[in-house]
Structure 1
Amino acid sequence: MDAFLISAAILIAVLVGAAVGWAAGAARARDMLRTRVATAEAEGSATRAQLEHQTRLYRDLLAQARTDHAAREERERREQSVLRALAPVQDTLTSMQAKVDTLERDRQEQFGALAEQLRRAHESDEALRATTESLAGALRSGATRGVWGETQLRRVVEAAGLTRHIDFDLQASTDTDAGAGRPDMIIRLPGDKAITVDAKVPLDAFLEATALPVTATGDQAAQRRRLMAAHVRAVRAHVDALSKKTYWAGVSSSPEFVVCFLPSESLLATALDEDPTLLEYAFGRRVALASPVNLWAVLKTVAYTWTQQDVSTEARALFDLGTQLHERLGALAGHSNDLRRAIERTVDSYNRFVGSLESRVLVTARKFPGIDETRLEALQAPPVVDASPRRFTAPEMLDDVPSAESAAAVADLGDLRSRLAVDGE
């Protein structure tokens, strides 16, 4: 009994303890649940706030994305529009780029060709410099200078159209009061006239002066001026020497001067630059200074004069032939007039013969006894010639007084004869 009570008491105590423990656990569970609910609500509020924030951000990002997309589409549209507008420019740029590429290739090729030409020009300059130095050294010899001057003179004369031994002679001897002379050239002129030419020229001072640059300064400039002055003095001395030789006196019908030929334009131009009175000085001594250009012009005039002389000679021969033909036509006209008269006399005699035959012979024959008249009637008398020879009507074929046209023609021929006579003189 007691054990039962104890067990019951223990069971009750356990149940009460369990109930109390459950109640205490339930209270704690409620507190924990309440705490968790509060925490969950707080977390939910925070999550909602964060979600709302994320939503707003998403909406903002979506709006920005839409704006960016619209802007990108607008930009692409504008870019396409610009590209379409710039399509011709693109084509032009493409074409220009192709041309630039071509020009660049051509430039490279031309640059290479130019470099090659410059190299060759440098080589040519070196060769020319060596040749010039050699020529300058050779021209310091008097004999070489003379040959060079004569060669240049002959080239100028032949370029003007003159022929050796016909229009000019080289190294022909002349006799003057100053003694025997030998000008380098004698140029023949129409009318048995001539001009003497000398081709020797002083070159030493000129060659030394030209070796110095024109832009030289200081001592070189002073040396160049001294050499140019020496060149002028040498030309003056040569003019004096030519004046004393009086070449013109040894040539028949020659103007009283001699031509001093300077084989280079610079020889005369430099001397005149240094001394402008040089030409007057030479003219006063009957010496004409001539460079290749002005001498060629003079010789071309001489060649033209020879041509006109030949034309005048041919015209004179043609005039003589025309005069002779005119005279022979007159003689032929006289013979033709005699022939016409003879033909007229023959026709007149023939017609008289026909008249005598018809009016006398045949009439008498018909009266002759024993002749068959039918046969006589069958005979036909020859016809009478009524036509007469045609007379000449051209003034040249008439032997009467000449007409006005023929008189004018004769006057023109007389004028032509007088002009030809004047040209011949």
Structure 2
Amino acid sequence: MRVESIDALVIGGGPAGLAAAEALAGAGRAVVLAERMPTPGRKLLMAGKSGLNLTKREDPAQFRAAYGATAPALSPMLDAFGPAEVEALAEGLGQPVFAGSTGRVFPRAWKASPMLRAWRARLEGMGVAFRTGWRWTGPGWRFDAPDGPRALAPGVVVLALGGASWRRLGSDGAWAGWLGAPVAPFAPANGGLRIAWSAHMEPFLGRPAKGIRLTAGPLTSRGEVVLSREGLEGGGLYEVFPAVRDGAPLMLDLAPDRSEAALAGRLSGKASTANLLRRAGLDPVRAALLRELSGPPPRGPALAARIKALPVPHEGPRPMDQAISTAGGIRFDALDEGLMLRARPGVFAAGEMLDWEAPTGGYLLTASLSTGAWAGRHAAAWPGPPPG
């Protein structure tokens, strides 16, 4: 097999890989980007179907807090390429952005495809060569390509292979078995919970329960959940998902704007349960959720207490491949300050390959772009011998 010598190799065409390729090319490196799918950014395209949430405008300390225990490791990268830089990236690609009432930032085109097309065109103009349909097959830089097996001899490498969810979109986590670096086990993040609904919930499936508070262990969120056919999902759940995944009970407050005492006052009297729930301010979806999860609702003060602290029995998270993202990946102590693998000099890693997680809301994409740009800049300055 002929071995092709190249200057810089990026494996993975998601946001982190594209950001790494731009940083490398901007520093004057000749970049080959290998992507296993027919086109880059497949997972990003799927996320953009419901509106591409690029990042979030909020206090920097609050933004960092979304990354939990990994915030200190990510902070230098977010300082260098954070929410403002993500917005500038989109604007520079001809995609004006706007912020919603919660601070979440979206392109005005709403979708991911215009931004991806413009970004690929810009990268190709910078000399980046895209090799699509190229699947990395393991140790060494060998690939299954559309025209048969291929081998590359790069001067430096950035890996941006994703986590282990949505295999059909290109990320399966297979690299964890051959990379030769300490990898924290993968686990679902931003995923749904399995609940076997009774038949009377059928009219409510697919509808959101809005304006609730969710609590699991030390985590709490205020938002909504969607009653899917499989169970629960949605942004409110994703913020507390790490604690639920680790075994903490999930509790719902269906009336977070009223105290338990105020609710008890509204729930006195001999009215029907349906009328009492209306007095409590519960819409039909939250009322159905209460009946489903608590059995026959109690009366009086006990009903107020149940509305304020409703336990959610469930059968655990849905399969990891159905999660929006994954926890786990290459441990930060296996990387140097430039995101180079200590065990493999000249090989850098970025994006969901790294051991961090965050809820949806712009945090996932921002950190993927941030770590990609960081790894690309440090890879561009790599002075050592080619990676083996």
Superposition TM-score tier, normalisation by shorter sequence: under 0.3
Larger proportion of strand: 2
Q: Between Structure 1 and Structure 2, whose CA radius of gyration is higher?
A: 1
Larger RCO of the pair (alpha carbons < 8 Å, separation 6+) = 2
Q: TM-score, normalised by structure 2?
A: 0.23
Q: TM-score, normalised by structure 1?
A: 0.22
